[in-house]
Each structure stands twice: as C-alpha cells, then as structure tokens.
Structure 1
C-alpha cells in the first residue's frame, strides 16, 4: 500500500501543472463535495454483476477460439439483450478484425472488474495468460493489455503480482486523467510545452517542485516498476512489455519532457 501511495504522489508531481487556479467550488473548498467517500456510489455502480450467458468451460480450446474471426457488429444494437450480450456487442465493435479468443479475454476482464462474477472466471483468466501470454502480448491492443494488468491486482495468485498490478493500475489511471485534461490545452500529445512559458506558482499539496530539465523523478517512478517486474511470476513480462510500449510512444509526458530537455540543451549550447 505504501508503494501505491508513493506512486500517486510521484505521478502527481510529474503531471501537475505549475499554476493553481481557483475552481469556484463550494465554500468548503472541496473538489468532491462530501469528501472522497462520496465517490463510492459511482464506483459501486460500474461494478454490478454482468448477467446473462455463461462463460466457456475452464478447459475450452484456446486454439479453436484463435482460429475463429469475430463476426461483424450488428447495428443498431438488437433489443432485449442481456448485460453480457450487450458487452459482447460492444466488444465486437472495439475488437473488429480480432478473434473469438480476444473477445473472450475482454469478456473475462469485464466480469472480473465487477464485485460479483462467474465462479470460473478468475481461473480461466489466469489459465489464458499462462498458456497464451505470447499471443496476447503480440495480438491485443495496448488498451486491453493495460486492462489485463489492472485485473491482476485483484485476481493475481501471488502477492508480488497483485501489488505490482495495483501500482500499474494507479500509474495508468493517473496518466489517463492527466492526458485527458491536457487535451484542453489545444495541443496534440506530441507537442511539448516551451520551457520559457513555465509558470512559477507552487505545486499543489505543498509538494516540492520538480526540475523538468535536471530531475530524476521519472527514474524513481519507472525504474522500480521495471525492477519489480522481474519478481512477478505471472505479470512480469506483461509489465515490461507495457513499459517498453510507454518508452516508444511519442505522445506521453515522458516523451514531451525529453523533447523539452533536448530543446533546452540545444539552446544552451547555442549560447556557449
């Protein structure tokens, strides 16, 4: 738990903008009126049981499912579908061009992210990743690999897997929040801010400022995840695969910081 909290504040320090703007909220000064506990109903609502058709048996033949391409999504969506059928319909659109095995993986995650799920769902999910890891890493979109690692936080068999998965889930959730907010800057994710435009207002919650040009916070944030993946038997390869994709993605805050450093270094050399 301590490592998860440390991750929250590390990511917050990297992702926080320098300026603190008045939000015009209620007199309590709370972002969430009623406190963080008031968010529980919204959290619980999305975790209601998916009712409907049963999952395949535990010994389902994965090779057969890999060979079966998904049918086209029927639109508009038919009436009278169960919650599971509605989820399958949505996945048919999202996973167009993939196979029934990719869809089964998506359905398993959808079930396992709920408070209640079919009895055999955890074991089938774990078997799928144990037997088909290479295929899953090569085939699935990154979005589904992220969902998979988050699912291990509750259903991993080892403490090392569950703890690392929880940290990865926190990391990607905060990253998603930050990148979504940044969209309102009007800049594409590949466009770095200019160093000269930095606002010098203090960071929130009294956090110490982060040196964009010389700081090592990224190393303290990412290197332990890479290190601990070596001790996570079920998700180690998945975690390192995701971190490698993070490193090659040109639209992350880490790439933008690297661009800012390069620009500052070129400017410095030009003045020498």
Structure 2
C-alpha cells in the first residue's frame, strides 16, 4: 500500500520540516537579474552531482552550487528555487518566481538543463503551477521521464544493457502479433505506427507554454540517449511512421 502523503497541517508541525528551512532567508533572491545570471559562470571547483538532500539548507545549496560549477548561475538559481519550493519556504513568492523564470527563460533552460533538472522542473509545475493545463502537461512530462528511467533502471539491474536485437524475433513481429500481457502486444520494430500516432497526439501539448517546452525537450532527449525509444528508432525503416523530428538525427 502506498504510504499517505502528510498534509500541510502535519508538515507545519513537523520539527524536521522546520529544520530543513532554517537559514532560508539568506538564500531568497527578491529581484533576480536573470540576464546577468545567464552570463555569470559558477566557479566552485570540480562539479559533483548531488544525490538526495541534506537536512541543512545551507549545506544542500552549497552542494548544489558545486554541481553547477562551470555552468551559468541561472541554472543554479533554478535549482535553488525548486529546493526552496519543496521545503515550502515563502511558497507563494517562490512559486511566482519559478513560473516567471520559466516564462522568461524557457528556451535557455530547456537547452542547458539536463534531464534530471528538466524532470524536477516538470514535477514542480505539476505540483504548483497556477494554470491547471500547465500542471497536467507538466505531469505528462514527468511521467514520461520517470517511466523511461524505471525501464532503463530495470534493464541495468537485470544486466540487459549488453543484449542485442534478435533478427528472428524482429522478423516474426512482421508476420503477426506477439502478445505481451493484458491485451498488449509487442511493438513491431521497423514499421509500427504507434509512436508516430502518439507523437501526433502530443504535438498540441508540446506547443503549450513552458510546460509544453519542457515536455518536448524531455521527449526529444529520449530519442537520442540510450533508451528504448532510441533503440527502436535504430531498427525503424518505414519513414512515414517515424516518431522523431529529422533535426534530431
């Protein structure tokens, strides 16, 4: 059974939650100069990716700053806002800043953020965006990114990353349906139109605001990194059913 998420009332009386917010005032940027942040490069030594979070906000943000060493300060500012929002620090103010940041700098952020932070951005919009449509699209983006992560994690755990396609199975798929489970069947590598049709359905969402840009960026990255999408793309030979844009080649 999935554990129940604590209510805001319960979190308000949680000492642990208050500890996570101690010192937050020092990290709030009331009127950030986004253009200047785009141009400033963080110099904090060799970058080290963070994993998990420290209870100390000061330490957590210091670690994050090092993660973005060599990159634009704007990317660190974006990550800092996510941290402050998740710790419910001046929530309304920081949500407004976060949405304003994406309204103004979506193209830059989509170009420079990695998938981890794009999915975190989607999660934040899914939780807090004022527009219900933006929340829905952001949730779709998060679902796509995290579902692929689960699939690739399972592949790694089972040592399947070294496996190669079996030509006889690909040929069998063209000859007829191969059942999976619960009415689903195997994607016909090489010709299937399922992903092309899905792409057509997604296009209107891709074109809808910053959440759509995040969604489209995540989708496009999945076509070029080592994912099921990219591996099936490598086997695809029917142009009219391709599900990626030619500029992604």
Is the contact made by 1:193 and 1:256 (CA closer than 8 Å) also made in structure 2? no
Q: Verify the 8 A CA contact 1:105 1:125 in the aligned structure 2.
A: yes
Equivalent position to 1:259, from 221, 226, 234: 234
Q: Is the 8 A contact 1:192 1:259 kept in 2?
A: no
Q: CA deviation at 1:215?
A: 3.2
Query: Residues 82 and 168 of structure 1: is their aligned pair in 2 closer, same or farther, counting only changes over 3 Å?
Result: closer
What is the CA-CA distance between 1:148 and the residue it aligns to?
1.4
3-state secondary structure, aligned to 2:24 = coil
Per-residue CA deviations over 1:12-61 (Å, capped at 9, x if unaligned) read xxxxxxxxxxxxxxxxxxxxxxx2x24758xx99x956413224344222
| Residue 236 of structure 1 pairs with residue 207 of structure 2 | no
Separation of aligned partners in 2, 1:185 and 1:61: 47
2:194 paired with 1:217: yes
- What is the deviation of 1:97? 0.7
User: What residue in structure 2 maps to residue 112 of structure 1?
Assistant: 85
Which residue does 1:245 correspond to in 2? 221
Which of 81, 93, 100 is the aligned partner of 2:73?
A: 100
Q: Distance in 2 between matches of 1:99 and 1:147?
A: 18
Asked if structure 1 preserves the Cα contact closer than 8 Å seen for 2:41 and 2:70, the reply is: yes
Matching residue of 2:42 = 70
Give structure 2 stretches of 5+ with no counterpart.
Answer: 48-53, 238-249
User: Normalization by structure 1: what TM-score?
Assistant: 0.65
Alignment correspondent of 1:53? 24
State the structure with bigger RCO (CA 8 A, min sep 6), 1 or 2.
1
SS at match of 2:126: helix
CA RMSD of aligned residues (A): 3.4
TM-score by length of 2: 0.70
In the TM superposition, what are the counterparts of 1:27-176 in structure 2 within 5 Å? 35=1, 37-38=2-3, 48=17, 50-51=20-21, 52-54=23-25, 55-72=27-44, 83-114=56-87, 116-119=88-91, 120-176=93-149
Change (3 A) 1:151 1:192: farther
How far off is 1:157 after superposition? Answer: 2.6
Q: CA deviation at 1:132?
A: 1.9
Are 2:144 and 2:219, in contact at CA under 8 Å, matched by a contact in 1?
A: no
**Structure 1 residue ranges, 4+ long, deviating more than 4 angstroms after superposition:** 197-202
Distance 1:246 1:53 in 2: 35
Count of equivalent residues: 214
**In the superposition, relative to structure 1, how do residues 170 and 250 fare at CA in structure 2: closer, same or farther (>3 Å)?**
closer
8 A Cα contact 2:81 2:98, kept in partner: yes
Q: 2:184 aligns with which of 203, 208, 211?
A: 208
- Cross-structure match for 1:3: none
- Structure 1 runs not aligned, ≥5 long: 1-34, 76-80, 263-272
More helix by share: 2
- Three-state SS of the structure 2 residue aligned to 1:128 is helix
Residue 176 of structure 1, CA deviation: 0.5
